[in-house]
Amino acid sequence: MFDHIPKGSCIAVGMSGGVDSSVSAYLLKKAGFEVFGLFMKNWEESDQNGRCMASKDQEDAAKVCETLNIPFYTVNFTEEYYDAVFQDLLSGLKKGLTPNPDILCNKEIKFNLFLKKALSLGADFLATGHYCQSLKSEAGFELLKGKDSNKDQSYFVYTMSQNELSKVIFPVGHLLKPQVRELAKQAGLSTFSKKDSTGICFIGKRDFKEFISQYIPAKKGNIVTVDGKVLAEHSGALYYTLGQRKGLGIGGEGDAWFVADKDINNNLIIVAQGQDHPRLYSSKVVASSISWTTSEPKSLPFSCFAKVRYRQEDQPCEILHIEQDLIEVVFKNPQRAITPGQSIVFYQEDKCLGGAIIKEKF
């Protein structure tokens, strides 16, 4: 599992306060490496009781490090996170996009600033609790899916470069989630039964609309059918995403309504009736901000598989054209609710090739 890591290496473990990073630290310590825990603070905000929302995770991470008898440090990247990730989210929402802040956080913060900080503290490598794997081959370091298909997180880390892959370790990527929890329990780690965190970290348990309205003023507009008939009023186009069903406020007989498109210039939400309405499907994507884990395809068209959202099954596709920072992809079968601002990530079997941010759908 750690064959490519030289004996005596010092490894910083990105401690999130969850069970996955806890077991990562445990496995590395058990394997005989010099290990220390590093907690990253990205957001400073208090809950209704005045308690810092990140403090519980920080306390849990510190407790695990104490149990494992390894040093524990905290770094603060709240300013950098706000500038590089949160502002990008707000900018995208204003344009009618649905950005993925987790992917940008991994690119700009976790595997950039956080990695550099770990190395500056004397670490030779950084380990995280992501459910993915890396493999050293003749072509360099390959990014692979995690063994647990229900937890695979390669979709979120596709922007990793060769340099980053050479310095980052995923100790639980070869395990299933129940195995991770059992290891944590056997090791006496307090996080063994802690629930997984879900959603965007800085929003927490609050309603997305309620949170975002503090930063972007809502502008009401019309919800219209694909034929232009006005059905209802929306509370702000930025609160809706393609494929959305709930929260439209459209009653009546017949099939449910779904968001098929957004017209930001005219402040319209366009809806289609029925979950299989043709307007909800697209066969072609143009994406930008391309990132390859190894190298881009040597010849086109290039056949592979892709996901346009997390947890989606791999879909057969062809990369038709790559020019500067734009990539054109066509799917074998039309895909439902392809969403600009989200990422399209490419695969060949278990190997993650890279990805790009969806710009347009056709």
The alpha helices in 168-254, defined as continuous H runs, are: 177-186, 208-212
Could you tell me the two tokens for 235?
């509370």
Tell me the C-alpha distance between 260 and 200, whole Å. 24
Structure token pair of residue 110: 């976790």
> Is the previous residue joined to 301 through a cis bond, with omega within 30 degrees of 0?
yes
CB 141 within 8 A of CB 166: yes
For residue 35, the Cα-to-chain-centroid distance in whole angstroms is 26
What are the residue numbers of the active site?
A: 105, 201
315 vs 136: CA distance, rounded Å: 26
Residue in 200, 198, 186, 153 with CA at minimum distance from that of residue 172: 153
Taking 3-state DSSP, the helix, strand and coil percentages for the chain, each rounded to the nearest 5, stand at: 25, 30, 40
339 Cβ contact partners less than 8 Å away, ≥ 6 residues apart: 98, 241, 242, 243, 308, 309, 358
Cα distances (angstroms) measured from residue 98 to each of 89, 140, 201, 342: 8, 33, 16, 6
**Could you tell me which of 252, 249, 254 has the C-alpha nearest to residue 236?**
249
Measured CA distances, 231 to 159, 219, 253, 271, 280 (Å): 41, 17, 13, 9, 18
Q: What is the DSSP string of 326-358?
A: EEEEEEEEEEET--BTBEEEEEETTEEEEEEEE
